[in-house]
């Protein structure tokens, strides 16, 4: 089956700066793919390109076999923005029901999505009165409620307590087992081990695109955090060699 | 555009408004208070000669059109700015919602709110302060509601040029004040200098005010009134089209 996401030499400029420098990768269907990298490395920008809200300067992004941002993808892709984007002056339930209705889903689907993110007890509460972590879960419920084929989640577990985080990750794997593809970003490496595939991005360049085991094997260490460090060093060393080969090394 | 999505979007906007009880109360009560003020301002003025409408009647009729125009412009500018700054707009544009669903949703929701506001103000003016118009009060409320829709359309468009709520509020004097000043309430339009008349001619509120004055003076709706109503509706559609052009699914 075709891949869920295929990026080819994706280049993005934001505010006169190049933020993504020609990213190529493919994410197969039915997996939880982790997009990991430090803050400012371009995770959000890459996700925006995948959902089709980012102006791109070059390359292509193909999503579920269609160019990213195609009109028919809007009912097949769910997007959780990094900052919670829900209506503060509506209750959790009202928010979920609205986004459910936009996707042609009913009230029962909305109520289930709210319960799935652990907000069942706060369903009648105004989003503006929720804690930060609750608010981002309300936002997550609205991204899941349409039962999309591809779910793009920008740092969904930030600020959540460990028990909830574990629950959310097992929910993501349930969805993937049902054939849904998830692209989940995080800047904390301890979430990497929970993913089926890893995309490691640094300063707008992809430095790893593999399974966690393969990443460990390539770096020769069991700890993913340490593995990433080695990959980054190796990457920088080869970049320095390449610059040296160019002649002007100092 | 999709009727179901339009309906749920309209409902969502009204639900947001309903949660803000204080705004709803101010929306409905403030016009009545201002009408009371105007009533007592002119209570001791001598009646104009020759059966012309009393000063209060002349001003109150036009004010019924002003309230929804001013208030809905502000409410819409802020509401749409919030959609932009909190990321809900970007998210909406990744869903099956069409731009027209959102724009018309705002037009219908706040148009209804403006109509409710006009109805309460009209009830106060007609019953408490004996406002007299030759034409029916239903036409007055219809024109006031149309003013609300025009204001919503202008607010949706102007919100694209504001980054903060402070800036959005500043568009009020820019967009609304000239229309109030030049609409013919303070100085009759045909007594203004030519260049002021020319400006007044391209401001949609001038037509709304003329339509209200037609209702005030004639028992039956006149051709001039319908033409004015059409001009205001056309201006609202134009502003909505411009607003749609400011909604970009892709950004830098
Ligand atoms: N709207 C913007 N205008 C200009 N530069 C931006 C904008 N948004 C993000 N950037 C820059 O793009 C780079 C990548 O940002 P982002 O994709 O948000 O990274 P991450 O999500 O990994 O933290 C950063 O250097 C950031 O400063
Ligand atoms: Mg980010």
**Inter-residue contact A98 to A90 (CB < 8 Å):** yes
Instruction: Please tell me the least confidently modeled range out of A236-240, B68-72, B145-149.
Output: A236-240
Half-sphere exposure of B218 (CA within 13 A, CB side): 14
CA quadruple B129, B135, B136, B141: dihedral sign: negative
What's the rounded mean pLDDT across residues A52-79?
Answer: 95
Q: CA–CA separation, A88 vs A91, rounded Å?
A: 8
| Residue A219 φ then ψ, to 5° | -90, -15
Q: What is the pLDDT of residue A218?
A: 85
What's the rounded mean pLDDT across residues B229-250?
Answer: 94
**Inter-residue contact A25 to A199 (CB < 8 Å):** yes
Taking the centre of ligand 1 as the mean of its atom positions, its distance from the CA of residue A45, in whole angstroms, is 7
pLDDT in tens, A49-60: 999 999 999 999
Half-sphere exposure of A234 (CA within 13 A, CB side): 12
| Pick from B20, B93, B96: CB nearest A53 | B93
B93 touching A, CB under 8 A? yes
Q: What is the pLDDT of residue A250?
A: 44
| Pick from A69, A79, A101: CB nearest B91 | A79
Name the nearest CA neighbour of B67 among B176, B173, B213.
B176
pLDDT in tens, A103-139: 999 999 999 999 999 999 999 999 999 999 999 999 9
What's the rounded mean pLDDT across residues B14-34?
Answer: 93
At A246, the pLDDT band (50, 70, 90 cuts) reads low
A248 touching B, CB under 8 A? no
Percent over 70 (pLDDT), chain A: 97
**pTM for the structure as a whole:** 0.91
Name the nearest CA neighbour of B233 among B206, B198, B204, B193.
B204
Helix (H) or strand (E) segment spanning residue B249: none
Token pair 């295929």 in the structure block, residue: A6
**Inter-residue contact B223 to B148 (CB < 8 Å):** no
Supply the Cα-derived Rg of chain B in whole angstroms.
Answer: 19
Q: Is the C-beta atom of A75 inside 6 A of ligand 1?
A: no
Name the nearest CA neighbour of B6 among B111, B105, B152.
B105
- Answer yes or no: is pLDDT of B130 > 70: yes
Q: Is the C-beta atom of A15 inside 6 A of ligand 1?
A: yes
What's the rounded mean pLDDT across residues B200-225?
Answer: 95
- The pLDDT mean for chain B works out to 93
Q: CA–CA separation, A145 vs A113, rounded Å?
A: 6
The domain locations on chain A are 84-147
pLDDT in tens, A25-48: 999 999 999 999 989 999 999 999
Residues B120-129 as b or e (16 or more Cβ within 10 Å = b): bbbebbbeeb
pLDDT in tens, A179-207: 999 999 998 878 888 999 999 999 999 99
Q: Do A101 and B20 make contact, defined as CB atoms within 8 angstroms? A: no
Task: Check residues A78 and A189 and name the one with the higher pLDDT.
Answer: A78
- Answer yes or no: is pLDDT of B87 > 60: yes
Task: Check residues A190 and B110 and name the one with the higher pLDDT.
Answer: B110
Q: Do B88 and A75 make contact, defined as CB atoms within 8 angstroms? A: no
Q: What is the pLDDT of residue B177?
A: 92
- Copy the structure tokens of residue B91: 């998210």
Q: Do B96 and A85 make contact, defined as CB atoms within 8 angstroms? A: no
Percent over 90 (pLDDT), chain B: 88
The residue count for chain B: 252
- Answer yes or no: is pLDDT of A248 > 80: no
Instruction: Identify the residue among A49, A55, A76, A87 best suited for mutation to test binding to B, counting B beta carbons within 10 A and taking the highest.
Output: A87
Taking the centre of ligand 2 as the mean of its atom positions, its distance from the CA of residue A173, in whole angstroms, is 22
| Pick from A79, A89, A98: CB nearest B8 | A98
Chain-centroid distance, C-alpha B47: 30
- Answer yes or no: is pLDDT of A249 > 60: no
pLDDT in tens, A141-162: 999 999 999 999 999 988 888 8
DSSP state of B174: I
- Copy the structure tokens of residue A220: 């020769």
Residues 6+ positions from B58 with CB-CB distance below 8 Å: B185, B216
Using DSSP bridges, classify how beta strands A66-67 and A77-80 pair: parallel, antiparallel or unpaired: unpaired
Q: What is the pLDDT of residue A121?
A: 96
pLDDT in tens, A9-25: 999 999 999 999 999 99
Q: What is the pLDDT of residue B46?
A: 83
Using DSSP bridges, classify how beta strands A17-27 and A77-80 pair: parallel, antiparallel or unpaired: unpaired
Q: What is the pLDDT of residue B102?
A: 96
- Copy the structure tokens of residue A110: 């909305």
DSSP state string for A133-169: HHHHHHHHHHHHTT--SEEEESSTTTT--HHHHHHHH
Percent over 90 (pLDDT), chain A: 75
**Inter-residue contact B236 to B103 (CB < 8 Å):** no
- Copy the structure tokens of residue A172: 């993501």
């Amino acid at each position: 089956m075709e891949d869920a996401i295929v990026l080819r030499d994706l280049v993005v400029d934001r505010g006169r700066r190049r933020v993504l420098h020609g990213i190529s990768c493919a994410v197969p269907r039915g997996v939880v793919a982790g997009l990991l990298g430090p803050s400012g490395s371009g995770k959000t920008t890459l996700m925006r390109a995948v959902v089709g809200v980012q102006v791109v300067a070059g390359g292509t992004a193909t999503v579920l076999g269609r160019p990213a941002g195609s009109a028919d993808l809007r009912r097949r892709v769910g997007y959780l923005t990094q900052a919670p984007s829900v209506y503060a002056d509506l209750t959790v339930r009202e928010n979920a029901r609205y986004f459910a209705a936009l996707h042609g889903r009913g009230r029962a689907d909305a109520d289930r999505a709210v319960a799935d993110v652990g907000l069942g007890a706060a369903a009648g509460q105004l989003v503006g009165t929720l804690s930060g972590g609750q608010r981002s879960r309300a936002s997550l419920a609205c991204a899941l409620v349409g039962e999309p084929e591809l779910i793009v989640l920008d740092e969904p577990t930030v600020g959540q307590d460990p028990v909830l985080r574990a629950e959310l990750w097992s929910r993501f794997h349930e969805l993937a087992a049902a054939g849904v593809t998830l692209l989940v970003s995080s800047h904390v490496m301890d979430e990497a081990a929970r993913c089926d595939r890893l995309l490691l991005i640094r300063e707008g360049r992809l430095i790893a695109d593999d399974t966690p085991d393969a990443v460990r094997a390539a770096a020769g260490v069991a700890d993913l955090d340490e593995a990433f460090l080695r990959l980054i060093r190796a990457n920088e060393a080869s970049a320095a060699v390449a610059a040296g080969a160019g002649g002007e090394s100092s | 555009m999709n009727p179901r999505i339009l309906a749920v979007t309209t409902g969502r906007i009204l639900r947001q408004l309903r949660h803000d009880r204080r705004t709803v109360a101010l929306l409905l009560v403030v016009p009545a208070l201002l009408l009371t003020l105007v009533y007592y301002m002119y209570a001791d003025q001598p009646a104009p000669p020759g059966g012309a409408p009393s000063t209060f009647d002349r001003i109150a009729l036009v004010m019924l059109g002003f309230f929804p125009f001013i208030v809905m412009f502000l409410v819409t500018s802020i509401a749409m700015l919030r959609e932009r700054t909190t990321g809900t707009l970007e998210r909406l544009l990744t869903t099956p919602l069409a731009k027209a669903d959102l724009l018309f949703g705002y037009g219908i929701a706040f148009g209804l709110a403006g109509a409710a506001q006009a109805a309460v103000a009209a009830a106060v003016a007609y019953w408490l302060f004996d406002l007299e118009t030759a034409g029916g009060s239903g036409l007055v409320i219809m024109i006031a509601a149309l003013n609300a829709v025009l204001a919503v359309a202008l607010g949706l468009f102007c919100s694209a040029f504001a980054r903060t709520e402070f800036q959005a509020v500043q568009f009020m004097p820019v967009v609304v004040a000239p229309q109030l000043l030049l609409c013919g309430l303070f100085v009759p339009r045909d007594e203004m200098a030519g260049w002021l008349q020319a400006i007044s001619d391209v401001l949609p509120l001038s037509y709304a005010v003329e339509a209200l004055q037609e209702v005030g003076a004639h028992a039956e709706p006149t051709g001039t009134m319908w033409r004015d109503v059409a001009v205001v509706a056309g201006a609202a559609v134009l502003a909505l089209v411009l607003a749609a052009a400011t909604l970009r699914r892709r950004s830098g």
